[in-house]
Structure 1
């Protein structure tokens, strides 16, 4: 058990999401006292299935509600904040840019302002960001000193969030650190349209995986297994003991890059389903072609390094989805990605308050 986390009064936003579920579970295992702010939840999520939802103090609300954030920090004597809540699906951000900006930008400055106002309580703030904050930089691998110049709605929202976090440190001395993550994968990601879970699902159902590729060139991506991502968040939290880490950004990924087809072939090999031919669909717009981050800064300053190889992470991910997609509720088509309202779960009424 971590002595630095034991009895810490932690607020985590985005706790019911893919990454947030795993991080919240770890914080509880280390003895932290965790409060969450939830706008919604999914009954099939890892947050529910792991039992995490029953072990934390859940507050119904949105990070767009500044008064609520300030009240939660004050009422629960929060001393540590992990800010993960965001619209994290690029396609959704493109379709609903106003919603993406409200949640990803407004939500970020709301939580940072609430932390500033209660700086007598809040000692450490960890903000989740993305390698998308760099935009379509021609310089590879991305290093933390590159400008954050996103162009499409999702990328811009992450660029802005980063700059806002740094401004709160530079202007007010807020002890904040920013994590820029590559593509996080692992069990519990219910966005089954993403490359890795979609490929696994297709192969389990004896269907060809669908690969979307640009008309010219190929997509190159950097990945990180969810357990390594949890360790990255903890490394940032612990790193904030050093004032030199305050206001800094760190990249986290495996430190390599893979073509989309290579990833699909890896999964096929691990699942012994090389007999199924993928379907390749060209697309003419949208995503950045090549993304690859340097992780040297995190290794040098935080002492963090990924522990899982790509194959190891994929094996555990395949095992998780094999069990999940074979469960009765999912097999019967009850794996809706749209979360029901809290009122549909009376068994949680004694757990949730405003």
Structure 2
């Protein structure tokens, strides 16, 4: 029996990778995309998808779409503000909070879903001294982080009060094919490939970089696991400074025209590294790619794209 799958934010970095992975199996795949979204990364497979151009803040249109699709599984990846150049706070609030509320209400009223996977973010937590657990206090440092925290709480409300089968994945610093050039890793690799001078801010920041294919496996497993109402960290639990990552990229690209600005441009201290014990125990998931394998595959993709 075919599964009806709905993916919001399908033209984004993680959404695009998820769509390509889902097409490896026999599913009916519907996607919600904003009218302003660029479809370039999906152009070769668009004929295999049921495309709906929709603004998530318009509930009446959302209701009609959900009635038509009747999804069994929903991956809610749509978000605004993840890139540093997206500074419209009104769009961040509308998309991430109101859009999520509208989507969940429509699913509650007009569909009988088996599972919803909600995309959270490590930016909800804010930096910590120790590796971050799902039960740690939130301390977001941006409007985007606050909006994602609110989105996760909306998911929690719909599970606890409406019995909707929702799991949230708090994804750490994902990288890989199809990522926007504003991301640290594709920006450095692309600049190296084009022989552009590279300037690195906050080189001593400590982060948890996870290859996108491992994120996709986490999404797929979270949509099939029996448990609902959970938050799962999706990271590697390995910590690297930004400078560590840049040095690895230098080794791969053989390009060294890079300038480090040692002064921090932010005031907070701490690191953002996942504790993934819960994900290992309940999802039976763990990352398969090492940082070197992921960077090499990302480099090869960018070189040939």
TM range (shorter): over 0.9
Residues 126 and 272, structure 2, Cα contact 8 Å, conserved in 1: no
1:193 lines up with 2:182 in the alignment: yes
User: 1:55 aligns to what?
Assistant: 48
1:86 lines up with 2:86 in the alignment: no
Structure 1: gaps of 5 or more residues: 1-5, 325-354
1:103 to 81, 91, 95: 95
1:234-262, Cα deviation, whole Å (9 max, x unpaired):
010111xx2xx211000001111111111
Structure 2: gaps of 5 or more residues: none
User: 1:36 aligns to what?
Assistant: 31
Which region of structure 1 is more displaced relative to structure 2, 67-76 or 30-39? 67-76
User: 1:221 aligns to what?
Assistant: 207
1:245-291, Cα deviation, whole Å (9 max, x unpaired):
21100000111111111101101112233xx2411234533777520
> What secondary structure, in the 3-state scheme, does the structure 1 residue paired with 2:285 have?
coil
TM-fit CA distance, 1:57: 0.6
User: 1:133 aligns to what?
Assistant: 124
User: 1:209 aligns to what?
Assistant: 198
TM-fit CA distance, 1:118: 2.7
- Paired with 2:269 and 2:168, the residues of 1 have a C-alpha distance of 22
- Paired with 2:98 and 2:268, the residues of 1 have a C-alpha distance of 24
The RMSD of aligned alpha carbons is 1.8
> What secondary structure, in the 3-state scheme, does the structure 1 residue paired with 2:272 have?
coil
1:5-31, Cα deviation, whole Å (9 max, x unpaired):
x61101110001111011012112111
Residues 62 and 103, structure 2, Cα contact 8 Å, conserved in 1: yes
- Paired with 1:105 and 1:88, the residues of 2 have a C-alpha distance of 12
Residues 24 and 52, structure 1, Cα contact 8 Å, conserved in 2: no
User: 1:342 aligns to what?
Assistant: none
> What secondary structure, in the 3-state scheme, does the structure 1 residue paired with 2:223 have?
helix
> What secondary structure, in the 3-state scheme, does the structure 1 residue paired with 2:224 have?
helix
TM-fit CA distance, 1:151: 3.7
User: 1:328 aligns to what?
Assistant: none
Runs ≥4 residues deviating over 6 A: none
User: 2:19 aligns to what?
Assistant: 24
> What secondary structure, in the 3-state scheme, does the structure 2 residue paired with 1:177 have?
strand
Within 5 Å, give how 1:1-354 maps onto structure 2: 7-39=2-34, 40-42=36-38, 45-48=40-43, 51-93=44-86, 95-119=87-111, 121-136=112-127, 138-189=128-179, 191-213=180-202, 218-239=204-225, 242=226, 245-273=227-255, 276-281=256-261, 282-285=263-266, 289-324=270-305
1:113-138, Cα deviation, whole Å (9 max, x unpaired):
1111135x2221110011111123x3
Residues 87 and 104, structure 1, Cα contact 8 Å, conserved in 2: yes
> What secondary structure, in the 3-state scheme, does the structure 2 residue paired with 1:86 have?
coil
- Paired with 2:83 and 2:254, the residues of 1 have a C-alpha distance of 31
